[in-house]
Every structure is written in C-alpha cells, then in structure tokens.
Structure 1
Amino acid sequence: MPSAPVVPRPAATVLLVRDHPRPRRGRSPLQVFLQRRVAGMPFAGGMTVFPGGGVDASDRPDPDRWAGPEPRWWAERFGVDTDLAGALVHAAVRETFEECGVLLAGPGTPAGLQRYRAEVVARRRTFAEVLAATGLVLRADLLHPWARWITPRDSPRRYDTAFFVALVPDGQEADAHTTEAVEALWWHPDEALERWEEDEMQLMAPTARTLQEIAGLGGSAAVLAAAAERTIRPITPTVRREGSRLVAVLPDETEVPAAGFRGRPA
C-alpha cells in the first residue's frame, strides 16, 4: 500500500529584478538574481534558484510594522488563509534580507544593516525584532504575487511555495553573502535559459518555467505589470519517465526536466 504524500511545507521565494543600465547588444535590460545552492543541501542541492525558503515560526507579521496590501489581499491572490498569507509575505521579505541583503522595508536604510542581517541569520534576533529596533515597517507594497508551485506528490521533501516579484529598491545591492549558495549573480533570463539548454546550469521546473515567462517581457516594469494581471492557481507538476528522461509535466502539458535531471527534453 503506497504511503500518504508528505504534507508540503509553506515557503516563499522572490524574483528580484532590475534593469541593466547598459545591456549587451541583443539582450533586453531585464535581469533577475539567481543563486546556485550548495551541492550537499537536502533540497535542491546544486540547483540555481531564486532567493527564498520555508516559513518559520517567527514569520508572524506585526500589523503596526506593515505597509501595503494587507494579508487578506494576499490570501485572495494566493488562495490561502489570511494568517498563512501574512506569514508568506513576512517570510519572503525575511529570506530576501537573509540571503542577499536586500531589505524590502522602510523608510530608508538603517545604519548597521549587515549586523542586523547577521543576527537574523544566526537566529539571535527575529526579523520582526529588527523591524521594531530600527523603526522600520515591512513594505508589502514592494512585492507582487506571481505564482504558487507545489512539489510533486511523490517527493520525500515537499514545499508549497508562493512566488513573488520585487524590484530592487534604489540604493540597495543584492550580494552573495550566504552560506546556502556557492554563487549568486544577476542574469538576463534568456541567458540563464541558454545555459540551462546547454547543460551548464541546473534549474528546477518552477525556476525554468518562470524564467521562460519573464524572458520576453523586456524590462522590470513589464514584469511588474504582468504580475498585476496574473491569475494564480496552484501548480503541482507530475513527474514521469520518458525513455531515459525524467520530465515534470505541468497542468497545461508543458514538459520541463525534473529536478536533478540535466538537459531539456527534445
């Protein structure tokens, strides 16, 4: 008798986007921040992903430290309950701060930002405590909903992940100062897809599909405009073998390589 599927853990991931001021000929200005995860990690080891991670117990937003659309609005967009929606937004902002140093909060940028970041990463202080200590509010208005992906049912480790889009705030820079990644760079979406097609980059199905969706949009303003028009429904791929290939099949029958499989189906 087959075992019951693992219950997916809530998670959040953020497509950080920007426009390169001097894109190379043939490239649109749009860039997205991608991290190559440490190979030995239990989930998505060696994969190139957007910043993000699981919701944790500290992701309980304070209404007094919140600016922008309220959790109820996010709940309607992602199809989840209000408490979870607030936690997803909080996790998205926290993980973005932890993993690449971009703070989606305001007003302004406090002194000693890296010290606060180190304390949050080390769990010496919660992100909510940092907001309170610095007088900042979480800027939910800087996030835009994009998609919701659920790991296939037969996976031993599963996540129900809300995908957000955010423009890097003026004056801030994303970095690679995280122990979870061996590399973190800005990529033109079509360039990352080319590397994937050439087997020089490993992408999970949600990452590959998302890059395909934004590759033709040209600039960050177009991505944010597209986010406002999207209808978000949970996407749970099924994984099947086609000859020697493992492919993730999406609800619209699109096929992309399953996580851990290098190369695209012909």
Structure 2
Amino acid sequence: MSRIRLPDGWEPDLDRPVSAPRAAATVALLRDVPGDGSQTYLLRRQPTMAFAPGMSVFPGGSVQAGDDEPLAGWVGPSPEQWGERLRCDAPTARSLLVAAIRETFEESGILLAGPDAQRTATGLDAEEFTQVRLDLDAGRRSLADVLAEHGWVVRTDLLGAWAHWITPAFEPKRFDTRFFVAAVPEGQQVGSLPGEADRGGWLSPEAALAHVAAGEVVMLPPTIAVCRDLRGVPAAEAVERSGARVVECIEPRLVRRGGAWYIENPLEDEPVTNEVQR
C-alpha cells in the first residue's frame, strides 16, 4: 500500500478521542494447488459487524484473557525469541502466538497444534470439534484447556511473522495486529464458517487482488499489502521467507489531497504538508 483513497463524501471525526489499540493476531493460511500456485483462505465478515463489515479478511482476532493460561507444551521459538522477532516482551509475544492459533482454529478449523513436534492434530472435522470452536469463540473455553484435554502442544514453529499494522488513529475501534503466515498442515482442511463470516474460500493472492481492483471484493489495506507480498510464493516457502523479513510497525496516516481523504503508509511515502496532526 502506498496511498488508498477513502470513499467520496466520507469525513473523519477528528474531535473523537483517540482510542488505544487492542493487541490482535491474524494468519494468512496458505496451500499449494497444482496449476494455480499458492492460495490463501479469506473470510468475508458479516455486514452487521462493528469493525470491517463486509470486508474479506484472514482468520484472526484480538488477544483474549485465556490466551495467557499455562500450556501443556510449546514447540518452536520460545516466547522470548518470539518477543525479539515481534519487538515486544515475552508475555505479549506468547499471548499473540496463542491468539493466532486459537483464532485460526475458531474461524477456519485449521489447528496449528498436535501431539508432538513432528505431528499435527487430525480428525478435526468431527462434530465435537465444531462445538469446541463455538466454545472457544464464545469464551467458554480457552485454547489451553482444549489442548490439555487432547494432550496436544502448540506448534509455533509452523508460523512465520510477516507484518505488523496498527489501525489509524481516526478509527473508533483500533487494533495492534501482528500478521503471520502458515501452510495448512497435511491432513487438515477448513471447516464450517464462524458466526462472524458469511462466506469463506480459497483464492490465489493474485485473484484476490484482481477482485479488489474490479470492485468485487473489499479488503482493508493491510490485507491487500500481505496479498501483494504473497503473490507467487509457495506455502512452505512463505514460512521460510518470513524469517528474513524485517517486520516494521506500520500505522497509516490520514491525509487530505485535492478535496479527498486518503490513508498512506508512512514507511513508503514522503512526508506531506497537509497531513492530519493528532
């Protein structure tokens, strides 16, 4: 993203107090399809949702209270190592990783966890796990509780840190979101749609961006940016490449040019004289 024009007639409420962003995590799930390259799983949010209604998004959501509960096991970089990667303290990094795995399971049925460091969970299409996903979504259970029941450990080694975006200050609901990538584990497939979505499906990043350009799909700037980054990248390679990425925090700014409002990525654009100051 360099600059995206906001809808004609839209006016920001610049007198509203700036709200603190909530910590959140989202995962671009990837799979390789012969003849179509890699595809990513996108959900279209219900039009009645308070945040990003009707938008196509990756599975994800905010950190919840239960995400800091003790886990039966942890595979992959330690929370301290993840903290260095994500530029945060170890407890925050741990909660972000747990939230990423929990939200991905809630919203897609893909679970980045399993019996040990070599295996991932199977049989997740059973009816019992549909209820488990609903219970997680409603906050009736924590991921730690579910994993302990089945003797599973979280597989953070299957995730790669990809991007970090903060919702612009003019938005009433704001999120401080880490974007991860992950290849769908062998033997797993997406399940039923969560209540927050009315549609879900696999698209190549190129196709998703083409639908956006044609006005057939609406995405938030971070989702567009990640799809652009993932064009032509095989699933496993994306996770491998993530280790070499510099994950900088991006907080888009609001600017007015020629009578229209835009949001810009300050890491890509030169400073402008008519930037809205907070």
Which TM-score tier does this pair reach, normalised by the shorter chain? Answer: 0.7 to 0.9
- Residue 198 of structure 1 is matched in structure 2 by 214
Which of the residues 125, 133, 151 maps onto 2:167? 151
- Residue 75 of structure 2 is matched in structure 1 by 67
CA shift in 2, pair 1:134/1:244, >3 Å = farther
Give 5+ residue unaligned stretches, structure 1.
24-28, 256-266
Q: How does 1:128-167 map to 2 (within 5 A)?
A: 128-167=144-183
Comparing 111-120 and 227-236, the one that deviates more: 111-120
Which of the residues 231, 235, 255 maps onto 1:240? 255
Q: Does 1:250 align with 2:265?
A: yes
CA shift in 2, pair 1:194/1:57, >3 Å = same
Paired residues in the alignment total: 249
- Share of identical aligned residues, percent? 42
Please give the TM-score of this superposition, normalised by the length of structure 2: 0.84
Q: Is the 8 A contact 2:113 2:153 kept in 1?
A: yes
Q: Note the C-alpha offset of 1:5.
A: 2.1
Q: Is the 8 A contact 2:83 2:92 kept in 1?
A: yes
| SS in structure 1 at match of 2:211 | helix
- Residue 263 of structure 1 is matched in structure 2 by none
Name the CA distance, whole Å, in 1 between partners of 2:159 and 2:247: 15
Q: Note the C-alpha offset of 1:156.
A: 1.1
Q: Is the 8 A contact 2:250 2:266 kept in 1?
A: yes
Structure number with higher relative contact order (C-alpha < 8 Å, ≥ 6 residues apart): 2
Q: How does 1:35-114 map to 2 (within 5 A)?
A: 35-107=43-115, 108-109=121-122, 112-114=128-130
Name the CA distance, whole Å, in 2 between partners of 1:253 and 1:51: 26
- Residue 27 of structure 2 is matched in structure 1 by 14
**Cα shift readout 1:168-225 (whole Å, capped 9, x = no counterpart):** 00011123421111111001001110110111110101001111111143x1133123
Q: What RMSD, in angstroms, separates the aligned Cα atoms of the two structures?
A: 2.0
Q: Is the 8 A contact 1:5 1:154 kept in 2?
A: yes
Q: Is the 8 A contact 1:104 1:142 kept in 2?
A: yes
- Residue 238 of structure 2 is matched in structure 1 by 223
Q: Does 1:208 align with 2:216?
A: no
Please give the TM-score of this superposition, normalised by the length of structure 1: 0.87
Name the CA distance, whole Å, in 2 between partners of 1:185 and 1:243: 38
Comparing 41-50 and 237-246, the one that deviates more: 237-246
| SS in structure 2 at match of 1:5 | coil
**Cα shift readout 1:61-94 (whole Å, capped 9, x = no counterpart):** 5253221111111111111111110000000000
Name the CA distance, whole Å, in 2 between partners of 1:216 and 1:152: 29
Give 5+ residue unaligned stretches, structure 2.
1-13, 116-120, 271-278
